[in-house]
Structure 1
């Protein structure tokens, strides 16, 4: 038994296909199939039901998979620790990020990080907060980027940056600023339930059930782009993170309102699960991302 055999099992489970798993692991399908078969013989257990389409784990295979995830994660952590001694950032790193952060953060950090660490292979996955946390615990992700605080005692976070939120919308002609307290009486379009930013905005702005939408319309979006279109159509309002505003054209920039009084911001953090943590990656990514993003936030503030 060796680590590669366990990695092949994890890949087959992930892709539900021996051919796709072989491509992912950069080996031939014959090699991967033979190694998995050899492992099954060594364990005297059938791990995969090959007659199913797509391929699925057997009941015994599910138990083996849990142990395989733990062994591979600990092996990767051991390798990462040895590389950290030499201050190297390299290898494959799986990053989960929630969609409401990914669209504005990725264009800022991806190119500089890849250029700085040419031996690094990044796998980026856009997932919901709940799925991200689940994947961290299962060792399917190395780090996550999400909005905090989160309701979890076993996941650890380190703050990357505080990002101001701005109101986009329409007021009476001549008004370009709004008080936070006024938002509760406005027609506010929000992301759909399940997005942490939605819950934070409702709490921050003390929003009740939105009674200002048309009575025959119930619409909640997964994207900021859709929210903008709804606001433009119905002359309502929404709240957008500062980095996202960089994507707006000049006409839409004119509809960004100044928030008078108390400002609103969201906390963006890097998240990891200690048993599987790649400490050098966690530490260096935290420093790099914070530096890159805060440079843009300072520019926008000028």
Structure 2
């Protein structure tokens, strides 16, 4: 038995297909099948029911999966002890990040990460908050970057920054700051159902089920770019986070306003399964993100009393 065999069975358990599992492990299907068959013979159990499509993990196999995850996690912990004292990160970090953060945060941090940690490989995927929690529980990713706080006692949260929520669609002749009450009386474009930023916008502005679309238009936006175009075309307003605002052209910035104090913000954190064997690596990455982001946010000068954290 070896670590590779454990990685192979976990891949098959995840993909429910020997060919896809082999592709993800960068080996031939014949090699993967032979290694798994050898492990089954050594343990004297059938790990997968190959007669089913998709392939099913047997009851005994499920128990082996749990043990394999623990063994590989302990292996990563031992390897992490070899980290150099000069804070050089090595290996692979698998990151899940929500789309409303990815579009504005990744262009800021990735170039610096690649330069600062040349021996670190970043494996990044855009997924929802719900999927991040599932993938962390299944150990398919190492960390998630998303809006918090979460009601998940199994996850540790490293707060990275507080990001102001802003209103787009306010004319430059209007007042400098707006209040949630100002938004309630306007038509509001929102992201699709299930998006945490939509939930925060609804909470902030007490919108409930209010809609903005013309009666013959049924549309669920998946990006801030789309929301801006819809606002320009049909009127009304929409909400955007501050890092996204920083990427907007000047003519659109003129239509965007901050809320009055206490300013509504979303809390963005790096989360990981508790306990996490590579905590030192996560702490280093978290601090690097804070360093790169701080000067780009109005909130970095704020005291707690100046902000109102909007839950998800």
SS in 1 for 2:189: coil
Cα offset, 1:162, TM superposition: 0.8
Higher deviation after alignment, 193-202 or 217-226: 217-226
- The TM-score, its normalising length taken from structure 1, stands at 0.88
**1:139-197 per-position Cα deviation (integer Å, ceiling 9, x unaligned):** 111111010111111211011011111110145x8325433321111111112222222
Residue 22 (structure 1) shift: 3.7
Distance 1:276 1:20 in 2: 28
Cα displacement string for residues 1-54 of structure 1 (whole angstroms, at most 9, x for unaligned residues): 121110111223334444443444344444333221111111222223445555
Any gaps of 5 or more consecutive residues in structure 2? 302-312
Q: Does structure 2 retain, via aligned residues, the 8 Å contact 1:109–1:289?
A: yes
Measured in 2, the distance between the counterparts of 1:161 and 1:61 equals: 42
**For residues 212 and 121 of structure 1, do their structure 2 counterparts lie closer, same or farther at Cα, with a shift above 3 Å needed?**
closer
Q: TM-score, normalised by structure 2?
A: 0.86
**How many correspondences in the alignment?**
300
Offset at 1:218? 4.2
1:190 aligns with 2:159: no
1:201 lines up with 2:201 in the alignment: yes
Query: Is 2:179 the partner of 1:179?
Result: yes
RMSD: 2.6
In 2, the alpha carbon distance for the partners of 1:209 and 1:53 equals 42
Check whether the contact 2:165–2:259 (CA below 8 A) recurs between aligned residues.
no
In structure 2, what is the equivalent of residue 275 of structure 1? 275
The farther-off stretch of 139-148 and 217-226 is 217-226
Out of 75-84 and 32-41, give the one that drifted further.
75-84
Residue 142 of structure 2 is aligned to residue 145 of structure 1: no
Whole-angstrom CA distance in 2 between matches of 1:17 and 1:75? 26
Deviation track 1:248-295 (CA, whole Å, cap 9, x = no partner) reads: 233323321343454221110010112344112111011111111113
Task: Say which SS state the counterpart of residue 192 (structure 1) adopts.
Answer: coil
Alignment of 1:228-239 (within 5 A): 228-239=228-239
Instruction: Give matches, 1:241-256, under 5 Å.
Output: 241-256=241-256
